[in-house]
């Protein structure tokens, strides 16, 4: 997952998940050079689901997900194999 902001561009790779004091904590992969943690509260989940489910583009993405996944993997397979 890519996170882009004015402060930094981070390629976040999921590591371990942890639960602590009503928060879900997502750790980045330990092998990454810049370790990070994402703290998610119950209110964050409710807010995100509410915004996501009320946005038609999210529904389009969910419905088209199998197609997007195959297309994405095909493109990255071609990039890795290099020009022929």
Among residues 5, 12, 46, the alpha carbon closest in space to that of 29 is found at: 12
**Residue 77 and residue 61 share a domain:** yes
**Residue 58 and residue 41 share a domain:** no
3-state secondary structure of 80: helix
Q: How much is the pTM?
A: 0.67
pLDDT at position 24: 95
Q: pLDDT tens string for the chain (84 positions)?
A: 888 888 878 788 889 999 999 999 999 888 877 788 899 999 999 999 999 999 999 999 999 999 999 999 999 888 888 765
**Residue 62 and residue 41 share a domain:** no
The whole domain housing 2 covers 1-50
- Which residues, listed in sequence order, are joined to residue 73 by a DSSP beta bridge? none
**Residue 41 and residue 68 share a domain:** no
Burial bucket for residue 28 (CB in 10 Å: 0-12, 13-18, 19+): buried
């Amino acid at each position: 997952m890519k996170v882009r902001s004015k402060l930094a561009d981070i390629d976040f790779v999921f590591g371990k998940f942890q639960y602590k004091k009503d928060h879900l904590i997502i750790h980045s992969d330990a092998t990454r050079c810049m370790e990070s943690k994402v703290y998610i509260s119950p209110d964050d989940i409710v807010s995100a689901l509410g915004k996501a489910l009320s946005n038609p583009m999210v529904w389009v993405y969910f419905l088209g997900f199998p197609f997007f996944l195959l297309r994405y993997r095909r493109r990255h397979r071609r990039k890795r194999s290099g020009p022929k």
